[in-house]
């Protein structure tokens, strides 16, 4: 992530004076946690490349010689050097390494891997999850909304990953049609959980979500950490949200309604729940699915 930002600054994509993308926006783009993005921006600030203005964001203030931003081919060459060195230390022969490299090239470039999608009920979590899976798996994972999947007919993907909250309904919809469904554990951001853990018993919590499933999911999380009073709304108009704000001590929102909730919060604290893919749950996809061909998955 740091190399990507340095590369863009060096190539003039982010010239001096330009504000860097927000941590949430950049996290979605690269499939990372917002805390990791903030940490990288902090490192660049200590190096004098950016300045962090509280409440506004990070701005480019330093120049980098164009030669400092490595080209993608150079970065890949360094990664290959490391991989080949490890292979030699482990005792792999030159022929074994070449065969392994060719297998991985074919799997990624020749479409040998099955077509993967990430299924969610709202576009914000769907995009975030597919981006994180793409980054962690090293292969493209498209996002698909649960409501957009047709009830019958052929589908343009072989494997559908989804969170534990939707696993039953996705299996009922896709498994009979030959699509393999795998569960991916998604975890809320620790900062959001910590904020909920600090709520006092009896706190009035207003929940704003994209759908009823989101309301149920958020309510369970709130009640796990606090004996709260809860009222909820689904994609409300501003007038309805204003009434909820007038009642609530704290607002809890998903990504889909975060901007609206913050805009109408009237000084109330807003806890935004974003769910990130647990890297450990990705291992089964990498080991059990990406090594097989689409026709094998569909059998």
All domains of the chain, ordered by start, with CATH? 2-68 (1.10.10.10), 72-109 (no CATH), 116-185+278-298 (3.40.50.2300), 190-273 (3.40.50.980)
* Planar angle of CA 85, 107, 5, nearest 5 degrees: 65
pTM: 0.59
Q: What is the dihedral of CA 138, 142, 146, 151, to 10 degrees?
A: -110
DSSP state of 19: B
Q: Are 61 and 16 contacting, i.e. CB atoms less than 8 angstroms apart?
A: yes
- Hey, is 242 helix, strand or coil? helix
Strand 204-209, strand 229-234: pairing: parallel
From first to last of its 299 residues, the chain has per-residue pLDDT tens of 887 888 788 777 787 778 888 888 888 777 777 888 888 888 888 777 888 888 888 888 876 655 544 566 776 787 888 889 888 888 889 999 998 888 777 766 665 567 899 999 888 888 888 888 887 777 788 899 999 999 988 898 989 999 998 999 999 999 999 999 999 999 888 889 999 999 999 999 999 998 898 899 999 999 999 999 999 999 999 999 999 999 999 999 998 888 899 999 999 999 999 888 887 778 777 766 665 444 443 33
- Hey, is 226 helix, strand or coil? coil
How far is the C-alpha of 190 from the C-alpha of 286, rounded, in Å? 26
**Hey, CA dihedral for 2, 7, 12, 16, is it positive or negative?**
positive
How far is the C-alpha of 189 from the C-alpha of 262, rounded, in Å? 18
**Backbone phi, then psi, for 8, in 5-degree steps?**
-70, -35
């Amino acid at each position: 992530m740091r190399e990507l930002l340095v590369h863009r600054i060096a190539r003039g994509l982010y010239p001096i004076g330009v504000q860097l993308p927000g941590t949430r926006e950049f996290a979605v783009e690269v499939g990372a946690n917002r805390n990791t993005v903030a940490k990288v921006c902090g490192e660049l600030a200590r190096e004098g490349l950016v300045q962090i203005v509280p409440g506004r964001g990070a701005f480019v203030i330093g120049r980098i010689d164009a030669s400092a931003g490595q080209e993608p081919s150079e970065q890949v060459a360094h990664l290959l050097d490391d991989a080949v060195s490890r292979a030699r230390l482990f005792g792999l022969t030159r022929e074994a390494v070449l065969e392994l490299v060719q297998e991985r090239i074919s799997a990624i470039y020749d479409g040998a891997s099955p077509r993967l999608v990430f299924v969610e009920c709202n576009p914000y979590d769907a995009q975030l999850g597919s981006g994180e899976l793409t980054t962690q798996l090293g292969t493209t994972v498209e996002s698909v909304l649960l409501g957009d999947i047709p009830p019958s007919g052929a589908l343009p993907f072989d494997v559908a990953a989804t969170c534990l909250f939707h696993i039953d309904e996705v299996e009922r919809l896709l498994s009979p049609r030959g699509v393999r469904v795998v569960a991916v554990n998604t975890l809320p951001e620790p900062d959001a959980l910590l904020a909920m853990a600090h709520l006092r018993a009896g706190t009035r919590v207003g929940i704003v979500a994209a759908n009823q499933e989101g309301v149920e999911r958020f309510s369970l999380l709130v009640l796990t950490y606090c004996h709260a009073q809860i009222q909820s709304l689904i994609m409300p108009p501003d007038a309805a949200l204003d009434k909820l704000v007038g009642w609530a001590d704290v607002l809890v929102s998903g990504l889909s309604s975060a901007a609206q909730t913050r805009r109408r919060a009237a000084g109330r604290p807003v806890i935004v729940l974003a769910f990130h893919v647990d890297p450990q749950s990705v291992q089964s996809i990498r080991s059990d699915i990406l090594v097989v061909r689409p026709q094998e998955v569909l059998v």
